[in-house]
Chains A and B, each alone.
Chain A
Amino acid sequence: MLIELEKRKEPSQAMLYLTPVIAVLATMFVGGILFSLIGHNGFAAVREIFITPLIDTHKWQDLGIKAAPLILIAVGLSIGFRANVWNIGAEGQYIVGGLAGTGIALLTWELEGWWILPLMCIAGVIGGGLYASIPAFLKTKLNVNEILSSLMLTYAAIQLLYYLMRGPWKDPEGFNFPQTRLFNDSQILPEIIPGTIVHLGVPLAFLIAIIAWFVMSKSIFGFQIRVVGSAPAAARYGGFSAKRTIWAAMLIGGGFAGLAGIFEAAGPFQQMVPQFPTGYGFTAIIVAFLGRLHPIGIILGGLVLAVSYVGGEIAQTSLGLPNAAAGIFQAMMLFFLLATDILVKYRLKLNLAKQAGDAS
C-alpha cells in the first residue's frame, strides 16, 4: 500500500478550513473534465459558472439575492445539524413560510401600512416553524427519523402550493394563470440600492447570520446545541434536555427557512407562483456543510453556491448548457466536501520506504 491514512493526534484546524476550498477546486477541475467528456467545452463551462459571475459587476446583485435565502436557510439548518438534528426538509418549510406570508398579503391586499410587511415576515417564520414542528413532534414523541419525515413533508408542501395556486388563491384578474395577485407596495421588500434588484432581505440575511454566530458562540443555548450534538450523554449530565433541543433546532431551522420563503416571495417574486420552489432548501444543506456549520463560513459558502446558480444561468445562455449543469456542480461540491472531510482527522502518509519517521 503506497498511501496510507494515519489518524492525527488532534483534528487539523488548517484542514478544517482548507477542505471546503479543496472541494470547490476539485469540483471545478473534475467538473471541467466531465463536461469535456460528454462533448461540451468543459473548461469554458467552469469559467462561465465559477468565474464570470465574479468578474461581471452586473451580476453581483444577482449573487446577493441568490446568496441571501441560501445563507438564511443554511444558518438555521446548521444549528440543527450541530445538535445532530437532521432537518432535510427546509425546502418544504421555505414553501410553507412563503405561503403563510402570502396568506397575510392576500388578506391585506386592499390595505396599506408599515405593519403589513413585518406581519408577513412573522407569518413566514411561524409557517416554517409550524411545518418543522411536525417532524419535531414525530421525533420526540414516536422516535420517527426526522430525515425521512422532514424530507417527505417537502413534497406535501409542494402539493399544497400547487393546490392554492390553482384554486383558492388564484388571481381573480389573472387570466386563469395559476398564480396569486401581485403584492402591493406595502407588501414587497424595499430595494436598498436604488436601480438594482437588491432588496432589504439581503442585508437582513447577512445580519441574521452574524447574530447567529454571536448567539452560538457566547450563549448557553449555543453551548447546549453543541453539547447535545457532540455527546448526548454529557448533555443530559450537564442538564440539557435532548427533546427540548430537538424542538428548538427544528423550530429555528423551520423558522429561518420560512423567513427566507417570505423574503423570496416579497422580494424577487412579488407574488406567489407555482415556480416558487427553486431548491434553495436543499442547496442550503450544501451551504451549511461548505461553511462548516459556522455562520461566517456559511456566508462564504452561500456566496459560492450563489455563484454557481448565477453562473449556471450564464452558461445556459452563452454555452447552451442544460439547466441541470449547475446542479451537477453543486452536488459534486458536496461530494468532494464529504470526501475530503477525512483529512481533518487523518493525514495521508506516503509509505514509500518502510521507514516510519517520528511524528512530525
Chain B
Amino acid sequence: MTEQTDYRIELNAVTKSFPGVLANDRVSFAIKPGEIHALLGENGAGKSTLVKMIYGIMQPDEGEIRWEGEAIKVANPKAARKLGVGMVFQHFSLFEAMTVLENIALGMDAKISQNLLEDKIREVMDVYGLKLDPHRIVSTLSVGERQRIEIVRALLLNPQLLIMDEPTSVLTPQEVAQLFETLRKLSATGCSILYISHKLHEIKELCDQATILRGGKVVGECDPKQETSKSMAEMMIGGDLKQIEKEVKTEFGEPRFIVDNLSQDGEGDFGVALSDISFTVRAGEIFGIAGVAGNGQNELLMALSGETPSLNAETIKLDGKSVADQTILQRRKHGLCAVPEERNGHAAVVDFSLSDNAILTARDRMNLSNNGMIKHAQARKYTKDVISTFGVKTTGDASPAGSLSGGNLQKFVVGREIMQKPDVLLISQPTWGVDAGAAAAIHQAIVDLADNGSAIIVISQDLDELLAICDEMAVINEGRLSKTLKVGEASVDEIGLLMGGIHGEPSASQDQAENAHAH
C-alpha cells in the first residue's frame, strides 16, 4: 500500500469550510524530512485551520493528508502525537501555580514516573540547548521560558514533524535567536518543522521552503532565501505594499502628556506592579513603549487611560492639568482617548452593533447622548463616518462587531478614537493580528493625527512597528520603564537587551539552579 515517497507529509487538495467561509480551498503542499517549511499568510488566510487539521483538532471536508506516503485520517490530537506530530501553540496551556515538571507531566499521554520524566526532560534540553529548570514555578518564568516548556513537551515525544504557530510574537530578539538555534538543531536530526508566521525576515532567515496562503488558497511557493521581504509580502497580501509617509521630525510642540513617578500595586496574584514610571510626550510626537507581553503593558495602559485611577493626581498631567485621580470618562472629556490591546470584549463588545460600540466611548465627545438618552441617529451617523473614513469592510452600522474580521474591527476601533480628535491618544498593540493592508492604514492614521498636533503613546510588542512610526521610545520590563531613547539612534540589540531586562540573562539564575542541584 505504501508508496515510495520523499515527503514526510503531503497535503492534497485539502478543503475545509465553515458556515459562510471557505477556510481552506484545495490546499496542497508537501514537506520533506528535516525541512523547515514556512506557512505564510495574513490573519484569516487559513493557516490556523490548516494546521488544526494536520494536528487532528479538525477534520478536512475533502482532500487527503498523506504521512510518509500513506493516506491517513488524524482523528484527534492524541492520534497526531502518536503519529509523530508535535505542536507548539501560540497561546500556551500552562498552569501558572505549578512547576515546569508538573506541567509537562500533566500533558503526557503515557503515564511515566516523575524521576524518569525529569531525566528525559534534562536529556532533551541538553541535546537542543534549551535552558530551563524543571522545578521552577511557571508564574515566575518569562514568556520565552514558558514557550520552552511547550517545546520540550513536544520534543519529548520525538516528533517527526513539529508545528510552530507564530512562535516569536512574544519573544525578545535575543530569545528569537535562541529559538532558531534550537529549531535548526532539530531539523538537522531529520525532524520536519512547519513554521507559521507573518514575519518575513524571520522566514527568510530560518526557512528552506515557503507556502503562501491567501484567502484559503495557496497563492505561491517559494524559496524564502531567494525572495525579498517585499516580494513575499506582496504575494501574501496580493497587491502593492503601501509605505507609511512620515517625515523625520526634530521639532515638537509643548509637552501635552507628562507621567511623573507613576506607581501602582499589582492586582491579584499575577498582576504586574508599576513602579516609578516617568515620561513626557510633546505635541506632534509619537512615543513608543516596547516590551515583551506581560511586563505591565496592560496595567500601564489602564492606569494612563483612567480605567484604574490612582489616588495621587499629580502623577499624570494632561495639558498641564493633573488627572491621575480622574476616571476614564473625565479624562476622555479632557481630550485623552485610548485603544486597549484586546479588541474582543475590551475595546469593543462583540455582540453589540458597531453603532452601539461607537456609543461605548464616543458618547460624550461626539455628542451621541442627551440627558441620559441615546441619540441613535447621531450614533449611526458617526459610525458611518468612521466606517467610510477608515475603509472598514462591513455590511453597515448595524452589524455586530463580532462579524468583522480582526483587521476591520481594529480599523473601526482605532477610527472611533481618532475621529474624536483626541489631544492625547493612547494605543496598545495597534496592529496586533491585523493584515498588512489594515496595518498600513492604521499606522498612517496615527502619523497623521500626530501631524495635527496630538501627542501619541503607542504600546507594542512589535519592534518593527515602533521603529517605523515612533519618534522616541522606551522599554517596559517588569513594570519599570527604561530611559527614553531616540528612535533613529537606538539599536535593535540595545532595545532587545532592555526588553529582556532580568530575563535577558536567564543563564545566571539558571546556572544557580543547576549548581544547586549539583550540590
Query: Is the CB–CB distance between A234 and B347 below 8 Å?
Result: yes
Would you call B373 and A219 a contact (CB within 8 A)?
yes
User: Are A226 and B372 in touch, CB under 8 angstroms?
Assistant: no
Contact (Cβ within 8 A) B17 A234: no
Contact between B361 and A238, CB atoms less than 8 A apart: yes
Q: Which A216-260 residues sit within 8 Å CB-CB of chain B?
A: 218-221, 223, 226-227, 230-231, 233-234, 236-239
Which of B61, B329, B332, B356 is within 8 Å of A223, CB to CB?
A: B356
Q: Tell me the chain B residues, 311-349 only, with Cβ under 8 Å from chain A.
A: 327-329, 332, 338, 340, 342, 345-349
Cβ A234 vs Cβ B372 within 8 A: no
Establish whether residues B373 and A233, one from each chain, have CB atoms under 8 Å apart when the complex forms. Answer: no
A234 touches B20 (CB 8 A): no
Contacts of B332 in A (CB 8 A): 239
Rounded to whole angstroms, the CA-CA distance of A7 and B307 in the bound complex is 34
Which chain B residues (1-41) contact chain A, with CB distance < 8 Å?
17-21
Kindly list chain A residues whose C-beta atoms are within 8 Å of the C-beta of B345: 231, 233-234
- B374 near A233 with CB under 8 A, answer no
Interface mask (A1-37 → B, CB under 8 Å = 1, otherwise 0): 0000011111100000000000000000000000000
Provide the residues of chain B in CB contact with A238, threshold 8 Å: 328, 360-361
B101 contacts partner chain A, Cβ-Cβ < 8 Å? no
Whether the pair B342, A233 counts as a contact (CB closer than 8 A) is yes
Of B340, B360, B403, the contact of A10 (CB 8 Å cutoff): B403
The one of A230, A356, A359 that contacts B20, using a Cβ cutoff of 8 Å: A359
Q: Give the distance in Å from the alpha carbon of A234 to the alpha carbon of B62 in the complex.
A: 40
B330 to chain A, nearest CB (A): 9
Distance (Å) between the CB of A189 and the closest chain B CB?
31
Indicate if A358 sits at the interface (CB-CB under 8 A).
Answer: yes
The secondary-structure label for the interface of chain B is: mixed
A230 proximity list for chain B (CB < 8 A) = 349-352
A313 to chain B, nearest CB (A): 41
Whether B347 and A237, one on each chain, are in contact in the complex, defined by CB atoms closer than 8 angstroms, is yes
What distance in Å separates the Cβ of B456 from its nearest Cβ neighbour in chain A? 18
> How far apart are A355's CB and chain B's nearest CB, in angstroms?
9
Give the distance in Å from the alpha carbon of A57 to the alpha carbon of B327 in the complex. Answer: 57
Q: For the complex, is B363 an interface residue (Cβ under 8 Å from A)?
A: yes
B369 contacts partner chain A, Cβ-Cβ < 8 Å: yes
Within 8 Å of chain A (Cβ to Cβ): is B400?
yes
Complex CA distance for A7 and B360, rounded to whole angstroms: 28
A221-B372, A223-B374 known; A231-B356 Cβ under 8 A: no
Give A68 to B17 CA distance when docked, in angstroms. Answer: 49
B359 at the interface (CB under 8 A from A): yes
Contact B360 A227 (CB under 8 A): yes
- Structural contact, A219 and B19, CB atoms closer than 8 A: no
Contacts A7-B19, A10-B403: A237 and B374 contacting too (C-beta < 8 A)? no
Q: Which residue of B lies closest to A354 (CB)?
A: B61
Complex Cα gap A231–B357 (Å): 12
Bound: A231/B61 CA distance, A? 34
- With A237-B307, A356-B61, A359-B19 in contact, do A218 and B361 touch (Cβ < 8 Å)? no
Of A223, A227, A239, the most chain B CB neighbours within 10 A belong to A239
- Set A6, A10, A236: member contacting B400, Cβ < 8 A: A10
Q: How far is the CA of A322 from the CA of B18 in the complex (A)?
A: 50
A230 CA / B350 CA spacing, docked (Å)? 8
Of listed B18, B328, B346, B400, residue having the most chain A CB within 10 A: B346
- Which of A226, A230, A238, A356 has most B Cβ within 10 Å? A238
Contact, CB under 8 Å: B360 / A237: yes
B374-A239 in contact (CB<8A): no
Q: When the two chains form their complex, are residues A223 and B349 in contact, meaning their CB atoms are under 8 A apart? A: no
Chain A residues within an 8 Å CB radius of B351: 11, 230
Tell me the minimal C-beta distance from A223 to chain B in angstroms.
Answer: 6
Chain A proximity of B173: nearest CB distance (Å): 31
| CB nearest to A241 among chain B residues | B327
The reply to whether B20 and A9 form a contact with Cβ atoms under 8 Å apart is yes
Closest approach, in angstroms, between the C-beta of A359 and any C-beta of chain B? 4
Q: Give the residue name and chain of the B residue nearest to A222 (CB).
A: B374
Task: Please tell me if the beta carbons of A239 and B372 are within 8 angstroms of each other in the complex.
Answer: no
- The distance from the CB of B297 to the nearest CB of chain A, in whole angstroms, is 15
A199-220, CB under 8 A of B: which get 1 and which 0? Answer: 0000000000000000000111
Chain B residues whose C-beta falls within 8 Å of the C-beta of A7 in the assembled complex: 18-19
Asked if A219 and B374 sit within 8 Å, CB to CB, the answer is yes
Which B residues are in CB contact (< 8 Å) with A239? 327-329, 332, 361
Tell me, in angstroms, the Cα distance from A218 to B346 when the chains sit together. Answer: 23
A234-B345, A234-B347 known; A218 vs B360 contact (CB < 8 Å): no
B403 and A237 form a contact (CB under 8 A)? no
How far is B340's CA from A111's CA once the two chains are assembled, in angstroms?
A: 61
**Shortest distance between the CB of A330 and any CB in chain B (Å):** 29
A9 to B403, CA, bound (A): 8
A9-B349 CB under 8 A given contacts A218-B373, A239-B329 = no
A10-B400, A237-B340 as given contacts; A231 in contact with B349, CB under 8 Å: yes
- With a cutoff of 8 Å between Cβ atoms, the chain B residues found around residue A226 in the complex are 352
CB distance from B26 to the nearest CB of A (A): 14
Partner of B346, one of A231, A356, A358: A231
A11: chain B residues within 8 A (beta carbon) = 351
Pairwise interchain contact A220-B350, C-beta atoms closer than 8 A? no
Q: Write out the residue numbers on chain A whose beta carbons fall within 8 Å of the beta carbon of B372.
A: 219-221
Set of chain B residues within 8 Å of A227, measured between Cβ atoms: 349, 352, 360
Shortest Cβ gap from B368 to chain A (Å): 9
Query: How far, in Å, is A143 (CB) from chain B's closest CB?
Result: 12
Distance of A231 Cα from B345 Cα, bound (Å): 5
Chain A residue contacts of B356, Cβ below 8 A: 223
Partner of A234, one of B346, B373, B376, B403: B346
| Contact of A9 with B19 in the complex, beta carbons under 8 Å | yes
Of B17, B307, B346, B350, the contact of A359 (CB 8 Å cutoff): B17
Asked if B352 and A358 make an inter-chain contact with CB atoms under 8 angstroms apart, the answer reads: no
Taking the nearest CB of chain B, how far is it from the CB of A216, in angstroms? 11
Residue in A closest to B15 when the chains form the complex, CB atoms: A356
Question: How far, in whole Å, are A309 and B250 apart by their CA atoms in the complex?
Answer: 78
Q: Please list the 5 inter-chain residue pairs (A to B) with the smallest Cβ-Cβ separation, ordered nearest first.
A: A239-B329, A359-B19, A238-B360, A233-B346, A231-B345
29 A-B pairs within 8 Å (CB atoms) are namely A7-B19, A8-B19, A9-B18, A9-B19, A9-B403, A10-B400, A10-B403, A11-B351, A218-B374, A219-B374, A220-B359, A220-B363, A223-B356, A227-B349, A230-B349, A230-B352, A233-B342, A233-B345, A234-B345, A236-B307, A237-B307, A237-B328, A237-B338, A237-B360, A238-B360, A238-B361, A239-B329, A356-B61, A359-B20
Interface residues of A (CB under 8 A from B): 6-11, 218-221, 223, 226-227, 230-231, 233-234, 236-239, 356, 358-359
**Residues in B lying within 8 Å of A, measured CB to CB:** 17-21, 61-62, 305, 307, 327-329, 332, 338, 340, 342, 345-352, 356, 359-361, 363, 369, 372-374, 376, 400, 403
In addition to A218-B373, A220-B373, 10 A-B residue pairs with Cβ atoms within 8 Å of each other are A10-B403, A11-B351, A223-B374, A226-B352, A230-B350, A238-B328, A239-B329, A239-B361, A358-B17, A359-B17
